[in-house]
Structure 1
Amino acid sequence: MNELLFKRVDNSPLVVFRVLFGLLIALEAWGAILTGWVRRTLIEPQFTFNFIGFDFLQPLPGNGMYFYFGLMGLFGIFVMLGFKYRFSIIAYTLLWTSVYLMQKTSYNNHYYLLILLLIFMCIVPAHRYFSVDAKRSPGLKSISMPNWVVLFLIAQIWIVYTYASLAKFYPDWMDGTFPELLMKGKAHYWLIGDLLQEPWIHMSIAYFGILFDLLVVPLLLWKRTRVVIFWISVFFHLFNSIVFQIGIFPYMSLAFTVFFFSKEYINRTFLKFKPFYNNAETKIPKLGPYFKVFLVLWFAIQLLLPVRHHFIQSNVFWTEEGHRMSWRMMLRSKSGSASFRIKNLNTGKTEYVKLDNYLTTKQKRNLLKPDGIYQFTQKLKKEYADKDIPIEIYARVKVSLNGRKPELFIDPQLDLATIEWNYFTHNDWILPQPESISWGR
């Protein structure tokens, strides 16, 4: 085990990945400003749907979040250059994680993946070559790294892809229902819009998605299929980038491949000026035993989190309980409607809540999810409690899953002022899944 983890190998893949990673995270931060994501998600809303328990994380006032993301982009460039590397990568990690926990309106599994990658980059020696730090401090320079760096990244990516594939084994994906819904929103695309509406395209997306996610890592590991699956990956990720416009993550996925090709090839292709390390020496660090414990805990969490919905008494497609941080990417479409009314217990009068006074159009989608309903209810409770007015809160929420008939999500006669939030178990104030959803947990 010590030899497997701590054998020294050439660090060319890590050095190349650091440069690509730093550039991409800088583009992610600055792109969020330029595309209006920061404005729409963090500046315009009056109320933020943060992760429950992290209410203390709120957007900076005024235009503060523009400076926040501008600074993140600068740290990304520092990571790329290997300048003040440890400080820069840790700073970016803290800033990005705070944004992730600060809002759920624009939740994306890729944002969670970026947190994991940032933590990985915090602990690896990615600045030991081709960096400002190594140039300024020659004693820092090294052409090798421990083998666990490669194993860690490959294992993490394998988990992500495998769970993403397994999550697609449900009827609405396998019969093309959801891929068809997904493509309907792309009909206006120039040149390919009409093609994306073809039934054979929907079925191709369904089964190619399953097979690619399931097999890409094993086929990249096998030398005989590595080049072929790499070019298939290029097509797959460029397709995702063009059709779904999901930012840097298709390109980040392509950057991962430097860890699958031979270190000699990466060194020869990208870092010809760098000496190649080939001593295969094993150096066990003083904290080696503790690091092994860290690895066991890390990957235990990574393996267990995506299956936690199986231990919750509900259908994750209906209730969303156990959906986040589970690699359940682009699996279902939800639409519906929500209206809230408040009964003033002092006067007995009932009034409907004007949602536009509280939420943006995009934020209203959170009211189709249980944690969003709970958080908005808590917002209303606090507002009236500050006025010393006792109230009851009722809502009529209807949800449509993958184009089905909208069904009641919660009991309209339930006083939502009395509900509590169970983070790890089923919230029994959610109505059972409708008969039209007869599959899954």
Structure 2
Amino acid sequence: MKLEMICTGEEVLAGQIVDTNAAWLGNQLMNHGFEMHRRTTVGDRLKDLVEVFQERSLQADIILVNGGLGPTADDLSAQAMADAMGVPLVENQQWLEQLSIWGAERGITLTASNLKQAMLPEGAVLVDNPVGSACGFRVKLNRAWLFFTPGVPHEYKKMVSEQFLPFVKAQAGLQSKVEVTKLLSIGIGESTMAERLEKLSWPAGITLGYRAYMPYLELKLIARDVPQAQQVKAIDQAIAALGDTVVARNQNTLAAEVHQLLLNEESTLAIAESLTGGDICNQLVAFAGSSHYLQQGVISYCNEAKMSLLKVTEECIEQETEVSLLCAAQMAAGVASVNTLIRTTDFAVATTGIAGPSGGTEEKPVGTVVVAVKAHNQVYCQTIGLSSQRSRTYIRDISVAIALDMLRRAIIGIPPIAEYHYITRINSAVYPISELLA
């Protein structure tokens, strides 16, 4: 089955807004075992819209058309579809009644512009919009079903999840069972991953899909009518081939994985950040329930803060510098015990380093990063070297990922320091917590 998307709007075509709706749809389709074959972007010009609808309806089986259903003069999707079909626009009584209720609830007097949203191509099937005033609809033209949704993201996503995806599955006549397993990785490039995986033999019905988004590379194993035992075998084979680079299963971020692990283990956490400036805390507190484990976070950007808040010694700063294994270890130990009203936290994370673009030295160039993780009675530290040609944002994003992965590994009881493909470890050390707090 051939699936396509048509995105409408001058602001999308001109690049004034980023089309996140299209990226989101592609990922949703992949998660349900479907692939988008083509995406077309067209401006708010009636003639162009009609031509695109007619052209693509000859090639695709299902087309999602996003945008152009609002009340303004440049919202032309319904009119263009009617023209492409050679039918008039007619008033949809069901949506007219819904609009009246919508207006009454908000104290809004409906205008001709509002009522325009109840005008659909003759023969169209209404698609409910439970959170907005612009309904969707679907029509059949040539070989394709064209399925129309508003462009407002929260309306569009709800309609796709609740109505478009079930429609796609029904049209596909799915007799088969489709299951998708996502493996999240860091520290490996797409070409290296593909080289490792695509030379292997996979069970019939298993398809591999890749998605890169900083700082992750996601592998999807799509199983169509594959017995459970064969799926497990395929997943185990992928994990064995990718090694330490696999950091989570069926999670979108490492923070989501760490969050769930900390909740499951009923553990406590403290965080000290210099290089990453609060990014680790920010990613974790985005999840409801993080207050159950996160005890405290300290952003100690200057050396004085490291010494006064985290008890990093002046001797350490003078002899080892703030970008050192010992400094990171003392930061982790210090933040774990900074609150004297509670016991030392089970885990702690600390980051320090040089994100650039300036501040590096010959001995410690830009991209030098030190991460420490306290796990119970020991602190594990490593220095990694990232390319000084990389951006400040890239260096910080990778540093957050490494820190969260070290924490993840510590929580599940495996050595916190891992081997990645393109991340160079310069040195490492393990310190007893008793020595650091002495």
Q: Same fold (TM over 0.5)?
A: no
Larger Rg: 2
| TM-score bracket for the superposition, by shorter chain length | under 0.3
The TM-score with structure 1 as length reference comes to: 0.27
Q: Judging by fraction of residues, say which structure has more helix.
A: 1
Q: Report 1 or 2 for greater relative contact order, CA contacts < 8 Å, sequence distance ≥ 6.
A: 1
Q: Judging by fraction of residues, say which structure has more strand.
A: 2
